[in-house]
Structure 1
Amino acid sequence: MEIKRKRRWLKKVSMYGLGFLVVIFGGGFLYQWVGVHNDLPKYKPPGQLYNVFGRKMHVYSGGNGKVTIIFNAGWGTVNPYVDYYPLYNEINEQARYAVIDRFGYGYSDLTNRKRDIDNIVEESHSLLLKAKIKPPYILVGHSLGSLETIRFAQKYPSEVKGIVLLDGGSPEYYANQTPLTAVSYIQRFIVQSGVARALYHIHGFAESVASERNSLKKLPNKLKDLDRISTLLKANNKNITEEMQRSQLNARKVLNGKKPLDIPLTVITAGNFGKQDKVWLKSQAALTKWSVSGKQIIVEDSEHYVHQYRPDLVAKEILSMVNQ
C-alpha cells in the first residue's frame, strides 16, 4: 500500500509539474507573440527592397566613388545594417558602399530556396543588378561570410577588384568543422519562448550578449535598440539555421573553385587580446594563399567582430585597396 501511495503521489507531482511548465512556456510564447506584434511596425527598412527570385531582398547603400564596397555579414549577425554601421560610417565620404541582407537577415524576407552557397551568391548578384549597383566591387566578408565572399569572386571574377576578410574563416577551416546546428536551434527556442525578450529587461543583458561585438559601444542608442528588436524578430530563423547546416558542404564547394584568386586579398584577424586560438591563427595565416597578392593583419585589441573594435583600421585597409 505504501508503494502504491508513493506512486500516486509521484504521478500527481509529475502532472502538476508538467502543467506548470505548460503554463510557463505557454505564457512565454504568448509574451513573444505580443512583443513581435508590437515590434513589427517599428521595423522599417532603411534601404531599398527588390524582388529577387520571388521574395524581397534589402540593400542599404550610400557614399560616393567609382568602386563599391559590398558588405557581407557573418553567420547569425541578424541585422547587417546595424552591424556594419561603424565601418560604413568611416568610409562614406570616400567610397560607395552597399550592405546586403541575405534572405532571413535584416529586412529581407525568408526564402524556400536552399541555402546552398551558389544560391546565396546568385541572389546577392541579382540584388546588386536590380539595385543598379555596378562593379567594380571590393568585397568585405565577416566570419562565415568569407565563404560567399570568395565564391562571389570565383563566379564573377571580372566584377571584383579585391577582398577584405574580417576574421573570416578559410574554406579549409570550415570544411573540417562540424556545423553547430544544435546551438542555432537552442538560440531559436530561447527567442521564441519569450526568455530572451524577458532577459533584455535586465540591466546590462544586451551588452553582455554583445560582448564579442565590443558591447555595442560604437553604436548610437537608436541602433542598439534596433539590434535588440532585430534579434527578437529574426534570430536563428530557418534560413539562418540552414546556412549553418550547410556550412561544411558550402565550404567544400568553394574549395573546388578557382584558387588562388587573381585579386588582392587582405585578411584582418582578431587577436582576441592575446588569447586567440592557435588553430584559428594558423588557418588565418594560410588564408592569404587564396590570393596571388594576399596579406594578413592581426588586430590584437579586438575580438571576433573586428569592425566593432577598430573600424578606423579596417576602413584604412579597405580604402587602401580602393586606391590601388
Structure 2
Amino acid sequence: MIQSAQEAVKQRFTAKKVLHIVLKIIAAFIIFVLLFIATVFTVNKISSYSEQKRTEPYGQLVPVDGKQMNVFIQGEGEETIVLLPGYGTAAPGLDFKPLVSELSPNYKVVVVEPFGYGLSDQTSKERTTANIVSEIHEALQSLRIDRYILIAHSISGLYSLDYVNQYPNEVSAYIGLDSSVATLREQKITSSDTKPVKWFRDLGFARIQLKLTADAYEGLPYDEQTKEQINILMRKNMYNSTQLNEAVSMYANYDAAEQQNFPASLPVLFFLQANHPVTDQWIPEHEQQIKDSLQSEIVLLDADHYLYRSHAEEIAEKIRDFTGELN
C-alpha cells in the first residue's frame, strides 16, 4: 500500500517534470518564432530604406488624377508605340528594355507604368478597367500623344480591349504580347484573401520569398545594373495595396471584357507562346477574338509568358513588317 502511494507520487512528479519540459520547449519555440519575425521585419525595414536611396529614376513623371505616373520614352520615330505591362511587373520601363531597344530606332516608344507599378504612385481608387484605361489615357494626353500603336502584355490586353473601343481615333493598331483573353479568366480573389498577403508583405516575408525564387532574368539580355534596379523595385512593389486591389477587381474586369470585341477595322497582331502550360485553348480563343478583323495575324513563339524578354529582336522585326503594311 505504501509502495503504491510512493509510486503514484513518483509518477505525478515525473508527469509534472515532463509537462514542465514540454512547456519550456513550447515557450522557447514561441520566443524563437517571435525573434525570427522581429528579425525579418527589422532587416526588411533597414534594407528597404537602403534600397530607396539606391533607386535610380528613369523616365518622367506626369500628373494623372492628382498623382504622379511614371512614363519612359525612348526613340524619335514618326510613329509612336505605347507599351502596357502585365500584372505585377515590378518596373515596366526596365522590364521592356530589350524590346524598347529593338523598336526605338524606328519608333517613338512610350512605356506607361500604371499606378502601383515601377516608379508611379499608388492609388486608393478601385482598379476597374474603366479607371485604369482613363488614367493611362490621361497620362498620354498630358504628353500630347494622340495617335499610336498600342502594345499590351498579359492582363493589359484585357484593359486594351476597352481602350481601343473608348479611343478608336487614337489607336492605329493593336499588338498583344501573350495578352489575356476574357474567356480564359483567372481565379476569383476577394479582399479577405488579400489580408494574409498584406501581413506577409508588411512583416517582410515577401523579401524572403524573392530570395528563394529563381532569377527570372538569368541568361536574358539585361545588364547587371538594370537587373539590380528591377530587383529593388520588385521588393518595393511586390504585393503593394494598388496591385492587390487590382487582383481583387480582376474577376469583374474579365466579366466586363466578355461583352467587348476588337473593332473589325482595327489591325490586330498577336504574339503567343506556342505551348501554353495550363490550357490548350490559348491559341483558339485568340483566334476567336480576331475572327471578324479585316487585318489580323497570330505569330507563335517557342517562349514562356514573358516572350518579349527572350524574343525581342524577332518580335520587333515582325512589328516593323506588320505596321509597314498599314501605311
1:293 aligns with 2:302: no
Paired position in structure 2 for 1:82: 94
Q: Does residue 67 of the first structure (1) align with residue 115 of the second (2)? A: no
1:265 equivalent to 2:268? Answer yes
Tell me the amino acid that sits aligned with residue 258 of structure 2: L
Q: 1:129 to 1:35 in 2, by over 3 A?
A: same
Letter in 2 for 1:229: I
Number of the residue aligned with 1:253: 256
By percentage of residues, which structure has more helix? Answer: 1
* Cα distance in 2 for residues equivalent to 1:258 and 1:280: 17
- Helix, strand or coil at the partner of 1:60: strand
Over aligned residues, Cα RMSD in angstroms?
2.6
- Equivalent pair of 2:161/2:260 in contact (CA under 8 Å): no
1:43 and 1:247, CA in 2 relative to 1: closer, same or farther beyond 3 A? same
1:95 maps to which residue? 107
Q: Distance in 2 between matches of 1:96 and 1:74?
A: 21
Residue aligning to 2:228 = 225
What are the ranges of 5 or more consecutive residues in structure 1 without an aligned counterpart?
Answer: none
Residue-pair matches, total: 312
The 1:10/1:282 distance shift into structure 2, 3 A limit, reads farther
The residue that corresponds to 2:168 in the other structure is 157
What corresponds to 1:280 in structure 2?
282
Task: Give CA-to-partner distance per residue, 1:205-231, whole Å, 9 cap, x none.
Answer: 67x241xx5x36111111111111011
* Partner Cα distance (2:294, 2:255) in 1: 21
Deviation at 1:286, TM superposition (A): 2.7
CA displacement at 1:3 relative to structure 2: 5.3
TM-score by length of 2: 0.86
Q: Find the counterpart in structure 1 of residue 118 from structure 2.
A: 106
**In the superposition, relative to structure 1, how do residues 10 and 260 fare at CA in structure 2: closer, same or farther (>3 Å)?**
farther
Task: Indicate the structure (1 or 2) with the bigger Cα radius of gyration.
Answer: 2
The answer (yes or no) to whether the contact 1:288–1:296 under 8 Å persists in 2 is no
Shift of 1:288: 2.8
Equivalence map 1:12-31=2 (5 Å): 12-31=24-43
Any unmatched runs of 5+ in structure 2? Answer: 1-11
- Partner secondary structure for residue 111 of structure 1: coil
TM-score normalised over the length of structure 1: 0.87
**Paired position in structure 1 for 2:6:** none
SS in 2 for 1:250: helix
Q: Which residue of 2 aligns with 1:178?
A: 187
